[in-house]
Structure 1
């Protein structure tokens, strides 16, 4: 039996682990919040107290952490706590689900292969609800021998698993392009709603019309619902798009490719972050617009 482990039981990772369990797999988990891992294991599975323990127990490890720096710490330790790579069995697979610089992903594959480990570059998209229902999207790239072990678990976690190349990098490039569109769409949605508020349009009516008209986008429909509810609980925080659009711009800058809309959207998220909204939901980018009164929650009325 091939064993699977998952690191990072956040908004996406908890749903992915639940999807693996629902598919009949015995899931090994680790989270820095030990009580979260223990709560997951009560419903089925095994919680590990250390990354080294998880690494030794699993043939396939799925990492669902925020960025490249956290992925490095998960694999190689943080200077005080060992990571999982040193204890992983030869031939085991590390599946990396974070949004990272594609060149970093390529280098990570080489580093792991030198240790006798396999790698799948596998960024994810779809949000927490789709992760929980096993309906998210995975943008993957990896060698056939890595897929051979990892594929049953990828299919358990995602409705669509796109194979974009036989070595690392392609998955991360496609995810970065997806993040370009996602960030620009959120910024544009916020700008449109802000203009409506400025002009005295009823925001609920505006939302209803736009979501049934040609100007709609998935991001407008999803994120402006947060604005109407005055709920800025961070499912995806402002600083995520400071990071992700920064990676978009870095990738384009390397080949001197112009991205004017991405640059503007990045500046909007940067402004929201420095204005104190860094940890709020990314829809809080609407708070940078002056002279508007945002909808209030029922408790604020």
Structure 2
């Protein structure tokens, strides 16, 4: 197996997750390039000691492993197979790690197309949020042929806290991520609903948060997202529109399986309703604003404004 110190990583997409992964790899001593269309993202990465470019082709030509952390399947396909894509520029025998949340039916197609150009694919969606990405503690739900993992050496471990090898074919990793997004989406929506209920009934939101975090009703998403509500800060670390997309993927896959998902469907409608209010670009905790408008609840940010 190759040693990660001899391999170069290219991170395509320097958003909150991609930037965290790239910086974590740099800290581990892995030569790392970053690619992003935003000049400010490239400048921030170069200040940290990495090499940055706006060209996917330029990055791919320099790298052994390309980590693709873009928003969706359409962007992933463009990065992989566009006119200046990874498939035409990455070193022969190189590995592509596809980490966007996508329909599990797509990675096997990409795996075959990349194999035809002499490249390997690891279906490797990630979880953990911006905080864990920055700390190099993301979870990678990975599947792919053994040769792909061998060619990637230890590079995955350079930006992840846990790498789960889930099988020898692409698609399994995305299936597991789909289940994770089902839970995450429902948990966030439920956290917003619960906080709105408590505030509507007159509970102090900060006391409510503290009690729930030390009680059986607590979830990781409740603990992580409710502080955004308490601070009135809806800066998008993960936007409402992300769960419009991700729960849509979950429901589409379930429909193909003829499998009922009433909770996911209800949560999806809450994200759609929040997006319809013009809040799709805000943090996913902004679902609480749907309830606030519905029931006339004064949220913490409104209390600060009033003061």
TM interval, shorter chain, is over 0.9
Distance between the aligned counterparts of 1:17 and 1:131, measured in 2? Answer: 9
Q: Is the 8 A contact 1:126 1:136 kept in 2?
A: yes
| More displaced 10-residue stretch of structure 1: 144-153 or 193-202 | 144-153
Deviation at 1:145, TM superposition (A): 1.0
Structure 1 position 73 matched with structure 2 position 78: yes
How big is the alpha-carbon RMSD for the aligned residues of Structure 1 and Structure 2?
A: 1.3
Deviation at 1:299, TM superposition (A): 5.6
Structure 1 position 40 matched with structure 2 position 40: no
Name which of 99, 110, 113 aligns with 2:112. Answer: 110
Q: Name the SS of the counterpart of 1:95 in structure 2.
A: strand
* Structure 1, unpaired ranges of 5+: none
Q: Name the SS of the counterpart of 1:62 in structure 2.
A: strand
Distance between the aligned counterparts of 2:108 and 2:223, measured in 1? Answer: 35
Structure 1 position 193 matched with structure 2 position 195: yes
Partner residue in 2 for 1:83: 85
Structure 1 pair 90–191 and aligned structure 2 pair: CA distance change class (3 A): same
Q: Is the 8 A contact 2:7 2:30 kept in 1?
A: no
Partner residue in 2 for 1:205: 207
Partner residue in 2 for 1:8: 13
Q: Name the SS of the counterpart of 2:300 in structure 1.
A: coil
Partner residue in 2 for 1:134: 136
Q: Is the 8 A contact 2:93 2:151 kept in 1?
A: no
Structure 1 ranges of 4+ moved more than 3 A: none
Partner residue in 2 for 1:52: 57
Q: Is the 8 A contact 2:7 2:155 kept in 1?
A: no
Q: Please, what TM-score do these two structures have when normalized by structure 2?
A: 0.94
* Structure 2, unpaired ranges of 5+: 1-5
Q: Name the SS of the counterpart of 2:80 in structure 1.
A: helix
Q: Name the SS of the counterpart of 1:137 in structure 2.
A: strand
Distance between the aligned counterparts of 1:96 and 1:194, measured in 2? Answer: 37
Aligned length: 298
Q: Is the 8 A contact 1:9 1:36 kept in 2?
A: yes
Name which of 267, 280, 283 aligns with 1:281. Answer: 283
Q: Is the 8 A contact 1:231 1:297 kept in 2?
A: no
Name which of 125, 128, 147 aligns with 2:127. Answer: 125
Partner residue in 1 for 2:182: 180
- Per-residue Cα deviation, 1:140-187 (whole angstroms, up to 9, x for no partner): 001111101224111111111000011100000000000000000011
Q: Please, what TM-score do these two structures have when normalized by structure 1?
A: 0.96
Q: Name the SS of the counterpart of 2:105 in structure 1.
A: helix
Structure 1 pair 49–195 and aligned structure 2 pair: CA distance change class (3 A): closer
Distance between the aligned counterparts of 1:220 and 1:99, measured in 2? Answer: 21
Q: Name the SS of the counterpart of 1:269 in structure 2.
A: helix
- Per-residue Cα deviation, 1:195-217 (whole angstroms, up to 9, x for no partner): 11111111111111111100111
